[in-house]
Amino acid sequence: NAGVTQTPKFQVLKTGQSMTLQCAQDMNHNSMYWYRQDPGMGLRLIYYSASEGTTDKGEVPNGYNVSRLNKREFSLRLESAAPSQTSVYFCASAPSGANQPQHFGDGTRLSIL
Amino acid sequence: KQEVTQIPAALSVPEGENLVLNCSFTDSAIYNLQWFRQDPGKGLTSLLLIQSSQREQTSGRLNASLDKSSGRSTLYIAASQPGDSATYLCADLVQGGKLIFGQGTELSVKP
């Protein structure tokens, strides 16, 4: 059971470069999420998609864009990477309904020089 | 601003001890409170989810409680084992389907 798969696992970028982080889930979940995790800050929501075709901003959306390509895939794009975006990025998915736990991928570790 | 706070930030105990991790939240209008486990270099694994109408949930050696009136949740781990060593995070689900996370408690269980 793959669950939530994120690619790549590691990436180093230079300031100003662009990149897309990929996420795919095989659990037929409607909702998908992108978080970033920074030391001392916990996980913070960047964007989420409650269903295919919809996306909404989370707590820290600036500098990012997302695409819900289909029900399985939800990508996160950095158009012009900045050192402040160095972080570990997690994708998660969940079924519809408020009382369903989110399932997380193993993360993408991104460093921006 | 909605906030979730976890105390302590780190905890070290000998194997076999019972322990309690604490979580407090500012938004009383939560939909649920969730506890996760995170191993180094890995994603989060859901442990327990307590709906806003519930007071506690149990899974094996884990028991989580929820007190909305005081804005607190606890995670009780019985008979701790070295394999329980990980970071434990709590999060509350608020309006808009958003999870607000605490910063986590790093637990180390010594053999």
Q: How confident is the model at residue A1 (pLDDT cuts 50, 70, 90)?
A: low
Among the partner-chain residues B32, B93, B104, the one whose CB lies closest to the CB of A42 is B104
Residue with tokens 């921006």: A112
Strand partners, A109: A10, A88
Higher pLDDT, B6 or A1: B6
Picking from B79, B97, B27, B46, the residue whose alpha carbon sits closest to that of residue A32 is B97
Q: How confident is the model at residue A63 (pLDDT cuts 50, 70, 90)?
A: very high
According to the per-residue pLDDT averaged within each range, which of A13-22, A36-45, A89-98 is highest?
A: A13-22
Distance CA B49, CA B30 (A): 12
The pLDDT value given to residue B14:
97
Q: How confident is the model at residue A40 (pLDDT cuts 50, 70, 90)?
A: confident
Cis peptide before A39 (omega within 30 of 0): no
Picking from B8, B9, B6, B19, the residue whose alpha carbon sits closest to that of residue B100 is B6
Contact between chains at B43 and A98 (C-beta distance less than 8 A): no
**Cβ-Cβ contacts under 8 Å, A9 against chain B:** none
Q: How far is B97 from chain A (nearest CA, A)?
A: 7
Q: How far is A112 from chain B (nearest CA, A)?
A: 19
- At B37, list the tokens: 């486990």
Q: With contact defined as beta carbons under 8 Å apart, do A37 and B96 qualify?
A: no
Contact between chains at B43 and A106 (C-beta distance less than 8 A): yes
Q: With contact defined as beta carbons under 8 Å apart, do A19 and A109 qualify?
A: no
If one counts every other C-beta atom within 10 angstroms of the C-beta of residue A12, the result is 11
Give the DSSP per-residue string, B11-45. EEEETT--EEEEEEES-S--SEEEEEEE-TTS-EE
Distance CA B75, CA B63 (A): 6
Whether the pLDDT of residue A76 is over 90: the answer is: yes
Whether the pLDDT of residue A2 is over 80: the answer is: no
Residue B79 Ramachandran class (φ > 0 left, ψ -120 to 50 alpha, else beta): left
The mean per-residue pLDDT over the stretch A45-66 comes to 93
Return per-residue pLDDT of chain B as tens, 111 residues.
789 999 999 999 999 999 999 999 998 788 899 999 999 888 999 999 999 999 999 999 999 999 999 999 999 999 999 999 999 999 998 877 788 999 999 999 999
